[in-house]
Amino acid sequence: MKVWTEDTGGSPPSRPWRGRILDREGRPVSETHVLFRGKGGPYTDPTQVFALETKTDSSGRFCFRQASGERGELRFAHPAYREQKLRLRFGDSERPIEVRLKRR
């Protein structure tokens, strides 16, 4: 059994979830609110739910450096665009996520 202590970082290993938010024409959408909700994982209670949030930068990029879990959902919200959701599995974090938002 693996025990996580402060000497090992205090938490199970994680992979970053990275991505970029664009509009339909391919222009970056800055200041988009990005919410990551995850559930379970190899070192956690499978019913445990956690959430992380951030905003995109001027290039439309976001990153959750400490995200973990077996599966999760990303939610993207911006006042000028329709909210969009994306369901993910842990292996999906291998490649950057690109989302194109539609105007309201």
Model pTM above 0.85: no
Task: With a cut of 50, say whether residue 1 has pLDDT above it.
Answer: no
Q: What is the CA radius of gyration of the chain?
A: 15
> Mean pLDDT throughout 76-98?
86
For residue 62, give the nearest of 75, 50, 79 by alpha carbon.
75
Task: With a cut of 60, say whether residue 85 has pLDDT above it.
Answer: yes
DSSP element (H, E) containing 38: strand 33-39
Contacts (Cβ under 8 Å, ≥6 apart) of 26: 100
Q: How many CA atoms lie within 13 A of 77 on its CB side?
A: 6
* Higher-pLDDT residue of 42, 79: 79
Q: How many CA atoms lie within 13 A of 12 on its CB side?
A: 12
Q: 54-73 pLDDT, tens per residue?
A: 999 999 999 887 666 667 88
Percent of the chain with pLDDT over 70: 68
